Structure 1
């Protein structure tokens, strides 16, 4: 089966004009001004599906670099453990690749369950990768060794989220974090992976100081770290700008609460626009959903006063908000949810190129919502409705 998407405005994520795109066998086979299939005797019914992309934007499938696919939470007790992600939570939001992690709870939540859920979602058609470790050091793992996890478990690409500047973290020292980063870096080198260390940054006033100390006092480069939740407040955003000036990449969280926004958090789309306006290279900025994480609300004394659940769809809505409300170009907004996270994580995703995986989204050019979504060439969403759903949805 071949599919040709006709005359869509192509973003690779860089603008490429009006194109036809041919996909088959899970890959992008050709990108041309006009693809003529008649000479190849491909006119037999059922052999080629044609999709009219006129008036729509064809973009890479979104790469969501932090999702709690097996659930998270627990800060309000056992009943507050959040549910697992379902397939259509991602695909209907244009997300074709997710990177999964544990969080605060690495006791009742395990890597066994995380990787099993990842494999299940892959069977259903999604691209899924994982982090070993969690908030805490020493890092828990699937095999008992974080280096073995990265080297021998296909889905595992790095370590995270390691918590810093947060009362829920293990308050790691420079040497502890450097040692963990070294393990991830070397294991990644030996297995052809990036070995990225995802860093959960809390609201503590030390911000990213620990990462700078690791880079200053050891041979671990700053680019090994990928700090997220960088839009918690204005001061942290500005610390993120300094991090980018030293060559790093920072991530903004799109799931939030009205309480947090009212108490100093900057919306992810606003933070993206702010950093670009301040001269940060757009290639160093990403957004992720933190989907299905708990969103605990703490007061100034770190007492829990509420809890909500992250939503994968917030990634799509923040992309739209960046373009429509904050004047971020479509190209730069797309980069933050496609090619940029793929680059920092070392994934061959987030771009539309010949021979690349056919992870594609057709967006309505008016409201920028997904009309069609393909993951590895399989049509997952059509006319905004999921064609493929998880077994228990």
Structure 2
């Protein structure tokens, strides 16, 4: 500047426009303060203070804090970045030991192969026999009735069950509810597994198909019928008859009840009707008098019928004593047995709201009050 010369340093961005202007007048302003720092220029224009104070004066007020960003997730990093920040695998550590415990066992005459934690623990478990004292819960279930949509199980927590060789389902607590799906029909196999997937036991659940309502047809007549002191209401339909017993003749010996009902049916023109329902549930419960022999022959009573429905309560059954002179028991029977050597064709039998079972010629069956099921013998 002293000799009125100006040296220009050009880059690609400034050189090209100058080259394009070759042959034209190029006017460059001469700045008197060129070469001075911004701070010197500020002092020349009246700023009083140090250079740091001048720099501080250029800083504006502190702004409001920005929004908090989301924390980093593993998914934000590429595999290469994750590998870059992963440290080297360390050397394997020394196996754990339980030297004091091992020494205590040795002092009490118990030999140990070594002092590792695993060896000491296994020896303590062996000596305490705690495994022998632990009894896991057996698998139990509530027998589903016709129309139920699920089965309730109880078992040992973290044990498992598998239905029909399907996937294993783990007990998160001591109970589990399993929905009945389209693959579960008839006899369903349930396997019960321990913690190491060892089979504890195998169970069979029979899923009862909901019965279709029998077509009784139109009601023909309703009347009261009786035989001795036993009274009932009779409803005749086009396709069968229903008898609801309302009073029982206490003079009749319990083992002759079957014959009593047979006479009632025959005396009222019902012997040739192919479907009949006998309802005893309207009778009062009498602790010293049963209404049906628990081991009696049900089908013998309905000898000519093809479809038999019996409604009876457990408390209404009498179980004859097998010892002479011993009293019979009432309301204690768990099962109701039936059989026939008279019926020459198959008969469909239903007790309460159980499944309908076809009993073959000369066949026998047993009804369970606990499960509400009929099983053929």
Same fold by TM (over 0.5)?
no
More helix by share: 1
Higher-Rg member (1/2): 2
Q: With the length of structure 1 as denominator, give the TM-score of the two structures.
A: 0.26
With normalisation by structure 2, the TM-score equals: 0.27
Structure number with the bigger relative contact order (C-alpha 8 A, sep ≥ 6) is: 1
